A and B are shown apart, each in its own frame.
Chain A
Amino acid sequence: MMTCFLYCFFVLFISVGQAAKPLDQSLRAPTNLKVSAPTNDGGTRLKIQWEMPRKWSFYIMDGDRIVGVVDHDKRAFDFKGNIEDVDFPDEESRLEAQKSATQELSNRLKVLWVDPSKLPTIVNASDIERSGQLLTHKIELDPKGKIKWSIPSDSFRLSLYRLEMPAGHTCEESDVNCLEKGKWKVIKSNIKGATREYIDTVTDNPRKKPPEERYWYKMGVFPAGPASTESGKLYEELLVSSMESEIVSGKPHASWVKKASGIYLLFALILAVGILMFHYTRKARSGAKMAIRRIPGIDAIEEGIGRATEMGKPVLYVPGIDSLEDIQTIASMLVLGEISKTIAEYQADVIVSCCIPIVREVADEVVKAGFYRAGHPDAFDPTSVRFISSEQFAFCAGTNGIMYRQKPATNIYLGRFFAESLILAETGYVNRAIQIAGTAEASQLPFFIAACDYTLIGEELFAVSAYLSGDPRLVSSLKASDVIKLVIVALLAIGVCVIGFGFKDFLTWFNYS
């Protein structure tokens, strides 16, 4: 005996028959066209909003029972049908039963279009049957019980036009006659009927002033089909089959300051880190002791350099494969400065393998400066900082080659890594090098943890240079970020409680767009 659940819904297309009255398919132009500058904009965009004249509600009926009401712009409803627990002797009888249940449901299910203004205050099924129009279009049921439908009015499309003025001409808002000098251009065609706004970028280059002071717009409505699907169509061609809205205009507005609660929070966060850094730096200068927890991975760096010195082999340093703009690469360069100083003090050799040329140039200077600071500028080998290749796997192959040929005693991978992380770390493991890795790239951390002796996780990478230098001013910055971390943990706890109690607006405080 096989126990199955009989689901009343699965994918099917049913035409709910016997059309009562056909839905009004006549085209009507958009109304209440408005042009405004979007908030927090650089002065290069305009927001165009409109309304469509018709408004209605959809009533979903299971026989004579109203099971749901949705707004005119929705085309789907979550229908919670009955799920019966039935025993079937075999799969065939289950399918048979499912088919008949579906047939039964399809006979009962109806979607009606109703103008809410024509309904009484208290609505019942007979009111809907009397005032509504039965939807004759396809209704789709998915296995999760969601009903989807389309209506004939979905088959219309909108086009948005902008007036292109000849160079040097501008029209004032009141001067409508001036518009004749310009030429209308289709800037967006095939806009879906349910869409109510569009943001137009008025200039190709968002870093330049828009060419005109004021922009004029209008909209057209078309039956969907080949006529409106070809973007290349000229405005004149589209005009033949369209109905058009009124003409409206607007001026782009450039904001100097972004106004969003998330932006204020970000600013406050940066400011707080800065103030705390200054506070702790001042404290450090006055002689206060700045304690920092031991990080075994960073301690191991010096051990690794010592090991390389004893073995007479080089230290291999890989600063990741991202460009210099990335903060992890910058942090890696800072660490390289400290490490190269230590290497120079130990009179060991270093090989820095770089993927990006500009990173190589900076690494070259940093290593040179490290040797200089250690008092051994003559020990610096200009060929020790190498550009391998700017291609990810070519770089990986080249660095692996260095590992196989020169057998470095210690491999240090600090920076941003991607798929090459494990290939590098495993090659180092096979060559029996001590390996220390550090990255804030969460997806690569498991690979480094599996293949390296020590791994610096996330923020630890950014603490290395301060830790190695032991400079109280730098250590103070770690203190500052620790305090902020405490605040964030507190905020997280508060957020969980507040949202748990239903205060969802809490999330909007963090909205930065």
Chain B
Amino acid sequence: MRTTLPLILSFLIGMFMLGEFFVPHWRYQMVKGFILEFGTLLASAAFLLGIINLIQVNLPKIKNREKDWGYKALMLGSMVITIIVGLAEGSHRMQAYELATVQGSPTEEIQEIEVDESLKIMALSTPEGSEMPAVAIEVSLPLQADQEGIKLAPDADPRFKLTRRKIPLNNIDKETSGGTQDNQIIQYTLTGNKSIEQIEVLESGGASTLMMPRNRPSIRKTIAYKWIFDRIFIPLSATMFALLAFYIASAAFRAFRARNLEATILLAAACIVMLAQVPIGEQLPFIGDYLAQFKEWILDTPNVAATRAIYIGGALGAISTGLRIVLGIERSHLGGD
């Protein structure tokens, strides 16, 4: 019974979830949604167990003054502070997230909008004919849009101020700016009364875009949580990520030592690609143009071929692993042979 029930459950739920690819009916999707929500609930509950595990692992080490116990104390202390602040300001943060789901766009160019907690509004354009539904909005901010851009509404409260700033596109990720080919986008910043800290509206691709939440958010009360996130967590994460540059250099140094034929081919390919990526590569006499073409060939032909082979093999491996579990052939995760 210890393994039979999990096996039956694995089979039933596994087969049901597999059916999702083949059955589009809303009733089927409803049951699937229920199962997924159940999974989300379990995963959320596991967070609590994760915290307990953190305490179980680290608290004894602090008590026993083991090596680097101070770091562990700092980590547990930070966790406690963040939890307290998060719980205290949680309802306000939830309000801000809720706002992020009820917005829309007045133009057909922009249909998907993300509003983060600080209300920086980012718009992603969707190709014409996309199946993504448009969301009509209720204009509640004192702005209006026309072909020339975004302006303050004539009846706007005089305390509101709208500023316009051009940002060169090379400073912004093209993806997040809707992949526009223009060399700049226009950023609007609305400053207003106490309930609106700052709302930024991005305009790109020549289309006026105006995005806004339905209600004026009151995010001022989430300052402590945001401060922890923006001033401590993000810089620390960025620091870790930045270390990658040095690790790449040391790993590349080892990988590019021409010890055998394969390593020599790797070295040659890497030199060509690196040289063609930088401006000096194009300026090289005689080979400049060929170098760029050869780089494209390396990236588009052998590289893509190998990557696809890995993906195809991986997909087949995934199918067979999935079937092994669903059909009960693989049982090691259940603790039995």
A192, A358, A449 interface centre (most CB from chain B within 10 Å): A358
Q: Is the pair A357, B49 in contact by a Cβ cutoff of 8 Å?
A: yes
- Residues on B with beta carbons closer than 8 Å to the beta carbon of A199: 131, 133
Judge whether B104 is part of the interface by a CB distance below 8 angstroms: yes
- Residues on B with beta carbons closer than 8 Å to the beta carbon of A72: none
Q: Is the pair A461, B317 in contact by a Cβ cutoff of 8 Å?
A: yes
Judge whether B254 is part of the interface by a CB distance below 8 angstroms: yes
Q: Is the pair B136, A274 in contact by a Cβ cutoff of 8 Å?
A: no
Q: Is the pair A357, B316 in contact by a Cβ cutoff of 8 Å?
A: no
Judge whether B170 is part of the interface by a CB distance below 8 angstroms: no
B39, B307, B335 interface centre (most CB from chain A within 10 Å): B335
Task: Decide: A426 near B46, CB < 8 A? Known: A42-B24, A387-B53.
Answer: no
Residue interface bits B307-331, CB-to-A below 8 A is 1, else 0? 1011111101111111111010110
Q: CA A362 – CA B46 in complex, angstroms?
A: 10
B29, B47, B332 interface centre (most CB from chain A within 10 Å): B332
Minimum distance in angstroms from B34 CB to a CB of chain A: 8
Q: Which of A229, A274, A474 contacts B147 (CB 8 A)?
A: A229
Q: Which of B129, B147, B313, B323 contacts A458 (CB 8 A)?
A: B313
Q: Is the pair A360, B46 in contact by a Cβ cutoff of 8 Å?
A: yes
Number of interface residues of A (CB under 8 A): 114
Q: Is the pair A334, B333 in contact by a Cβ cutoff of 8 Å?
A: yes
Minimum distance in angstroms from B22 CB to a CB of chain A: 5
Q: CA A391 – CA B234 in complex, angstroms?
A: 11
Judge whether A498 is part of the interface by a CB distance below 8 angstroms: no
Q: Is the pair B329, A254 in contact by a Cβ cutoff of 8 Å?
A: no
Q: Is the pair A207, B330 in contact by a Cβ cutoff of 8 Å?
A: no
Q: Which residue of B lies closest to A512 (CB)?
A: B21
Residue interface bits A367-403, CB-to-B below 8 A is 1, else 0? 0111011000000001101110011111011000100
Minimum distance in angstroms from B235 CB to a CB of chain A: 11
Q: Is the pair A188, B56 in contact by a Cβ cutoff of 8 Å?
A: no
Judge whether B144 is part of the interface by a CB distance below 8 angstroms: yes
Q: CA A484 – CA B316 in complex, angstroms?
A: 8
Judge whether A257 is part of the interface by a CB distance below 8 angstroms: yes
Please give the residue numbers on chain A whose beta carbons come within 8 Å of chain B beta carbons, in ascending order: 40-45, 185-192, 195, 197, 199-201, 206-209, 225-226, 229-232, 254-258, 263, 266-267, 269-270, 273-274, 277, 281, 323-325, 327-328, 330-331, 333-334, 337-338, 356-358, 360-362, 365-366, 368-370, 372-373, 382-383, 385-387, 390-394, 396-397, 401, 405, 419, 422-423, 425-426, 440, 442, 445-447, 449-451, 457-463, 465-466, 469, 471, 473-474, 477-478, 480-481, 484-485, 488
Q: CA A340 – CA B78 in complex, angstroms?
A: 33
- Residues on B with beta carbons closer than 8 Å to the beta carbon of A382: 56
- Residues on A with beta carbons closer than 8 Å to the beta carbon of B33: 207
Q: Which residue of B lies closest to A479 (CB)?
A: B320
Q: Which of B26, B241, B254 contacts A209 (CB 8 A)?
A: B26
Q: Is the pair B29, A277 in contact by a Cβ cutoff of 8 Å?
A: no
Task: Decide: A338 near B332, CB < 8 A? Known: A188-B134, A226-B147, A387-B53.
Answer: yes
Task: Decide: A274 near B131, CB < 8 A? Known: A190-B106, A206-B26, A465-B332.
Answer: no
Judge whether B290 is part of the interface by a CB distance below 8 angstroms: no
Q: Is the pair B255, A450 in contact by a Cβ cutoff of 8 Å?
A: yes
Q: Is the pair B321, A274 in contact by a Cβ cutoff of 8 Å?
A: no
Q: Which residue of B lies closest to A440 (CB)?
A: B314
- Residues on B with beta carbons closer than 8 Å to the beta carbon of A393: 236-237, 240-241
